[in-house]
Amino acid sequence: MFEASELNIRNRKVQRLFRILFLLMTLLLILPVAIILAILTWKGSSVINLSFLFTSPTEGMTAGGIFPALIGTIWLVSVALLFSVPLGVAAAVYLSEYARDNWFTRTINLAIINLAGVPSIVHALFGVGAFVLFFKFGTCILAASLTLGIMTLPVVIVSTWNALQAVPMAFREACWNMGATKWQTIRRIVLPNSISGILTGIILMVSQTAGETAPIMFTGAAFFLPHLPHSVFDQTMALSLHLFVLATQVPGVPEDLPYGVAFVLIALVMVMNSLSIAFRVYLRGKKKW
Amino acid sequence: MVSLPHSVNPVKLAVDDVAVSYSGKTVLKGVTFDIHEHEIFGIIGPANSGKTSFLKTLNRMDIFNPAMSFTGRISFSGQDIRTWRNVYSLRSRIGVVFPLPVGLPLTVYENVAFAPRLAGVSRKEDLDIIVERCLARAALWDEVKDRLETLGSLLSGGQQQRLTIARALSQDPELLMLDEFSIAVDPVTTMRIEDVLKDLKKEITIVLVTNLVQQARRLADRMALFLDGEVVEVGVTEEMFAGHVKDQRTKDYLDGRFG
Amino acid sequence: MGQVDTPPSARKADRRNLDWFIDKAVQVLVFIAGISAIIFIIGIFVFITKEGVGFIFKSNYALSEPVFGLLEKQKMPEDQLDALTDLAGKKFATAEDLLKAVEGVIGVEGAAKYKDILITKSLDQPFNLKTFFTSPKWAPTSEVKPTYGALALMVGTASVTGLAMLIAIPFSLGAAIYIGEFATGRTREFLKILVELLAAIPSVVWGFIGLSIMNPLIIKLFNVPIGLNVLNAGVILGLMAAPIMTTIAEDALKAVPDRYREAAEAMGATRWQVILKVVLPAAKSGLVAAILLGVGRGFGETMAVLMATGHSINLPTSIFDSVRAMTATIAAELGEAAVGSDHYQALFTLGIFLFLVTFLINLTADLVLRGIRKE
């Protein structure tokens, strides 16, 4: 009765077949990208050296380094962070700690999902219409960073919300029972115990912000500038836009130069993401309850 | 009815026709009794009889739980708890220990210093005294005095339970409510804590929720039997155990025939 | 009522202290932050509409070619026609303004004779919904007559997104099933991290890959003159969207309770049978949402399609044709269009269309996902 019937054997064969098929699909998804990244690294690393990172482009951007673009990206990301981290964390605190499960909260969640789904070029149009023209900032770091900040706000909100929700409800109740206000509970128990999760999300947001191109093209980033920005009301170069410009707009660029820029951009994003992942793995191993 | 010395004490908590419901579903109704100062008032009854909901109501937890609501009137120190403008100061006067032990992810020291800090105590010497006294009263001091810097959430279940009691005491409450505090605690320690409660009675009022009939007998001056969301009977503990009960269900419960 | 019989001692204790006020203040602050997402979504809609919607209803009056033709037919003298050519292409807000200008050139009596034609035939709407959806001619900078037909752009976006989904849907679902149902322990963690890293590659880098790696590869492999085409952008977009879709699909699979699997396995089903008969049907809505979000991502992608499609206006007949996407059009042309010009407004009109479509896609995905949570 317990002998493997013919049907059973067939089932097992089908199972093995599908297992292999799905493994192949996974690999086919990952391998081409791995190969592409290898090519990028191989071609890009040949131009990377200290003077590439720390000098300005020269000879109509066909030679020299990427220093102003690197600094510009840091400017753009920092200002965007200053805007979206406090706002996003506060919004997540509201949604996690104060909001009740009703239509209004659902509307907020829907808005967040949509904010994340709006095409980046539409964010750019918004940036132009709102910050550059309506608020009369002109094309500058501030306008570009605000656009980026709004675009990446959902990342901060969602990751912070997840981090806050990971703190057990019992801790909050214990504090409330002692007469702590909601804010005291949040400040003394909830935030300190979710700060690492929040940081993980912020790093992800930095990585995403650094790579965005479309939203900054018309709001504050310029193709080429002879000097570094001095304030948020200056225009700036940016790594992502620099790659686009080198690859499509400038004639006579040596073949390897854009590979170098692409490599720096990828490296930046990958380091950020790995950091975020490592942080998460480390946290999982270090539970406080 | 036999009058007892404690009944001359002023009323600490007056409960008048209170009903509690979650999302419109009534879990407790018709609760009416007074609790006097310096008494241990026992609430006994089987699981799901509405005891914990009652404690949460006294604590105004309905404010933080949109599904929960209550009707009727509860006065604490003569003031209707609904008219209490600063609900946090109400809660800080009522210490609660719920059955699930919760050690906050702070050091043992900070767990106990949490409430005093909220109340504005900030001097290290003052906090040291409070922490030691509360931990000692909760029969935990000897075990943790050398490791006050460990995380409270990493203590054993029984230790966390006593830490929770120490935290409730650290509030310096006028009313202490204990909900099945001895679930995770060994018998010897339970006895030590029970002695502390008898001692504390001289200073504060205690509500003791328990499903251990003998514990209620040992501690409670008066007690109420909750059953299926209703109060079956309220009476003086000694008289009730002596058989002076009005309701057959009370007799059956005290005799251990159900629950 | 409680106030009257409250003993003074209790009332003293019941004071709203600093902590109470801080708590209230914080509550108000985080509430404002909480609704910021709604404000921004509305803001986006309002601002792109503000710049673009005027264009949809814009109407000018101008002496265009057909009007000249009609005037000629009505036997307007040569010299008057010659004189009027100065006004050709000039735009007027109302027909009366136009009439006045004509009167200024050929005199009141001359103009009165042709008043009917001038008033009824000179209406010139730069934007026309029908043209927008049916004409493949996107020529906003045309000297003769600017045309704003977005059909070719829509087809461009649709063809690239469609091809991308043909690639991404099976592969991401396959990968999600492998990671979620077959892989275990470290392999699973490793694959998940890898997929997450792939999702992080910036779109401009993908565009560069399309331009510099895929382009020569396609030319060589298929022996075609241009490697920047539907195939290139479709593959790039597919590779871009797949990691995100894999992650969401895997989440959907993970959301299926283990007891379903255990129950089916207890009845002797193999792992594959469990997946096919139990897990996939139970995770259906989540998988649909994953696909929808992938479509949304492909639809809204800008830099990669700008760089990899070839960016030429075309109704493609094969995957080796170059096309142009709506998003890429905005990215490429916004810089050249003067603020407030017809061209500029037309780009915002495209933006409104993009916004509405992605909004619909996200809304549908959300409703589908909410469907599961209710079940």
On whether the CB atoms of residues C305 and C327 are closer than 8 A, the answer is yes
On whether the CB atoms of residues C199 and C244 are closer than 8 A, the answer is yes
Residues of A in contact with C367 (CB under 8 A): none
C88 has which bridge partners?
A: C63
Instruction: Report angle CA C306, C309, C310 to the nearest 5 degrees.
Output: 95
User: Exposed e or buried b for every residue in A163-189, given b needs 16+ CB within 10 A?
Assistant: bbbebeebbbbbbbbbbbbbbbbbebb
On whether the CB atoms of residues B250 and B46 are closer than 8 A, the answer is no
pLDDT of amino acid C8: 52
On whether the CB atoms of residues B240 and B250 are closer than 8 A, the answer is yes
Q: Which of A92 and B4 is assigned the larger pLDDT?
A: A92
Element of type H or E holding C116: helix C115-120
pLDDT of amino acid C1: 37
Pick the closest to residue C181 from C243, C241, C261 (CA basis): C261
pLDDT of amino acid C350: 92
Q: Residue B25 — very low, low, confident or very high, per pLDDT cuts 50/70/90?
A: very high
* Cα nearest neighbour of A263 on chain C: C205
Among B77, B79, B86, select the one facing C15 at the smallest CB separation.
Answer: B86
Measured in degrees and rounded to the nearest 5, phi and psi for residue C153 equal -70, -40
Element of type H or E holding C288: helix C284-300
pLDDT of amino acid A89: 96
Contact A108 C34 (CB under 8 A): yes
- Tell me the residue type at A185: T
Q: Is the pLDDT of residue B74 over 80?
A: yes
- Domain assignment of residue B259, yes or no: no
Chain B and chain C share a number of CB contacts under 8 A equal to 42
Tokens, residue A82:
């200053």
Using DSSP's 3-state secondary structure scheme, residue B107 falls into: strand
Among B75, B80, B89, select the one facing C13 at the smallest CB separation.
Answer: B89
Contact C9 B77 (CB under 8 A): yes
Per residue in C29-88, pLDDT (tens digit) is: 999 999 999 999 999 999 999 888 877 777 777 777 777 777 778 777 888 778 777 777
* Residue whose token pair is 């980046």: A120
Pick the closest to residue B36 from B251, B197, B229, B220 (CA basis): B220
Q: Is the pLDDT of residue B259 over 70?
A: no
Helix B124-137 to helix B157-170 angle (10° resolution) is 130
* Cα nearest neighbour of A169 on chain B: B102
Cα distance between residue C5 and residue A226, in whole Å: 78
Pick the closest to residue B58 from B30, B90, B11 (CA basis): B90
Cα distance between residue C148 and residue C131, in whole Å: 7
Per residue in B105-126, pLDDT (tens digit) is: 999 999 999 999 998 898 999 9
Give the distance from residue C216's alpha carbon to the nearest chain A alpha carbon, in angstroms.
Answer: 13
Give the distance from residue A217's alpha carbon to the nearest chain B alpha carbon, in angstroms.
Answer: 47
| Domain range enclosing B244 | 5-254
Residues of A in contact with C20 (CB under 8 A): 181
On whether the CB atoms of residues B78 and C10 are closer than 8 A, the answer is yes
pLDDT of amino acid B182: 84
- Which of B11, B74, B77 is the best mutation test for C, with the most CBs of C within 10 A? B77
Cα distance between residue A149 and residue B196, in whole Å: 57
Contact B78 C5 (CB under 8 A): yes
On whether the CB atoms of residues A8 and A15 are closer than 8 A, the answer is no
Cα distance between residue C157 and residue A115, in whole Å: 21
Per this entry, what is the length of chain C? Answer: 375
On whether the CB atoms of residues A255 and A62 are closer than 8 A, the answer is no
Residues of B in contact with C16 (CB under 8 A): 85-86
Q: Residue B36 — very low, low, confident or very high, per pLDDT cuts 50/70/90?
A: very high
Cα distance between residue C172 and residue C181, in whole Å: 14
pLDDT of amino acid A11: 80
**What is the number of helices (H) and of strands (E) in chain A?**
12, 2
Give the distance from residue C153's alpha carbon to the nearest chain A alpha carbon, in angstroms.
Answer: 15
Q: Is the pLDDT of residue C92 over 90?
A: no
On whether the CB atoms of residues C323 and C159 are closer than 8 A, the answer is yes
Per residue in C100-156, pLDDT (tens digit) is: 877 877 777 777 777 777 777 777 777 777 888 888 889 888 777 788 889 999 999
pLDDT of amino acid B2: 43
Element of type H or E holding C292: helix C284-300
- Domain assignment of residue B20, yes or no: yes
Contact B83 C15 (CB under 8 A): no
On whether the CB atoms of residues C348 and C140 are closer than 8 A, the answer is no
pLDDT of amino acid A158: 94
Contact B77 C19 (CB under 8 A): no
Contact B66 A175 (CB under 8 A): no
Q: Indicate which CATH number applies to the domain containing B166.
A: 3.40.50.300
Cα distance between residue C8 and residue B79, in whole Å: 10
- Which of A21, A30, A31 is the best mutation test for C, with the most CBs of C within 10 A? A30
- Which of B73, B83, B118, B171 is the best mutation test for C, with the most CBs of C within 10 A? B83
Cα B224 to Cα B33, B41, B231, B240, B245, distances in angstroms: 9, 8, 7, 10, 11
Maximum CA pair distance of chain B?
56
Measured in degrees and rounded to the nearest 5, phi and psi for residue B177 equal -115, 125
Residue C170 forms contact with A (CB below 8 Å): yes
Using DSSP's 3-state secondary structure scheme, residue A202 falls into: helix
Tokens, residue A166:
């990971």
Cα A116 to Cα A90, A163, C292, distances in angstroms: 18, 19, 14
On whether the CB atoms of residues B112 and B166 are closer than 8 A, the answer is yes
- Which of B76, B91, B97 is the best mutation test for A, with the most CBs of A within 10 A? B91
Among A174, A180, A193, select the one facing B102 at the smallest CB separation.
Answer: A174
Q: Is the pLDDT of residue C11 over 60?
A: no
Chain-centroid distance of CA B182 in Å reads 12
Residues of C in contact with A107 (CB under 8 A): 38
Among C6, C7, C16, select the one facing B86 at the smallest CB separation.
Answer: C16
Chain-centroid distance of CA C326 in Å reads 8
Burial of B149 (0-12, 13-18, 19+ CB in 10 A): exposed
- Domain assignment of residue B148, yes or no: yes
Identify the segments of chain A with pLDDT beneath 50: 1
Residue C36 forms contact with A (CB below 8 Å): yes
Contact A122 C300 (CB under 8 A): yes
B41 has which bridge partners?
A: B207, B222
Pairing state between β C60-61 and C123-124: antiparallel
Residues 6+ apart with CB under 8 A from C88: C62, C63, C64, C68
pLDDT of amino acid B1: 40
pLDDT of amino acid C173: 93
Q: Which of C219 and B47 is assigned the larger pLDDT?
A: C219
On whether the CB atoms of residues C275 and C264 are closer than 8 A, the answer is no
What interface predicted TM-score (ipTM) does this complex get? 0.90
Among C33, C175, C302, select the one facing A214 at the smallest CB separation.
Answer: C302
Q: Is the pLDDT of residue C214 over 80?
A: yes
Among B78, B88, B89, select the one facing C6 at the smallest CB separation.
Answer: B78
Residues of A in contact with B118 (CB under 8 A): 178-180, 184
Q: What is the 3-state secondary structure (H, E, C) of C23-49?
A: HHHHHHHHHHHHHHHHHHHHHHHHHHH
Contact C31 A98 (CB under 8 A): yes
* Cα nearest neighbour of B120 on chain C: C19
Using DSSP's 3-state secondary structure scheme, residue B71 falls into: strand
Pick the closest to residue B236 from B17, B20, B3, B76 (CA basis): B3
Cα A108 to Cα A115, A186, C37, C42, distances in angstroms: 10, 21, 7, 12
Contact C171 A25 (CB under 8 A): yes
Among A100, A181, A188, select the one facing B88 at the smallest CB separation.
Answer: A181
Determine what percent of chain C is predicted with pLDDT higher than 70: 95
Among C2, C17, C20, select the one facing B79 at the smallest CB separation.
Answer: C2
Residues of A in contact with B59 (CB under 8 A): 177
**Concatenated DSSP letters of C319-351:** TTS-B--HHHHHHHHTTTSPTTSHHHHHHHHHH
Per residue in C262-273, pLDDT (tens digit) is: 888 888 888 888
Domains held by chain B: number: 1
On whether the CB atoms of residues B162 and B177 are closer than 8 A, the answer is no
Pick the closest to residue A241 from A270, A211, A204 (CA basis): A211
On whether the CB atoms of residues C277 and C343 are closer than 8 A, the answer is no
Cα C241 to Cα A40, A179, A240, C207, distances in angstroms: 20, 49, 19, 13
Contact C195 A129 (CB under 8 A): no
Interface of B with C (CB under 8 A): 75-80, 82-86, 88-90, 93, 118
Contact A211 C201 (CB under 8 A): yes
Give the distance from residue A14's alpha carbon to the nearest chain C alpha carbon, in angstroms.
Answer: 8
Among C2, C9, C20, select the one facing B88 at the smallest CB separation.
Answer: C20
Contact A179 B90 (CB under 8 A): yes
- Which of B84, B91, B117 is the best mutation test for C, with the most CBs of C within 10 A? B84
The pTM (predicted TM-score) of the whole model is 0.88
Residue C30 forms contact with A (CB below 8 Å): yes
pLDDT of amino acid A71: 94
Q: Which chains touch A (3 or more CB pairs under 8 A)?
A: B, C
Contact C202 A153 (CB under 8 A): no
- Which of B153, B159, B176, B207 is the best mutation test for A, with the most CBs of A within 10 A? B153
Per-residue pLDDT, averaged over B246-254, amounts to: 89
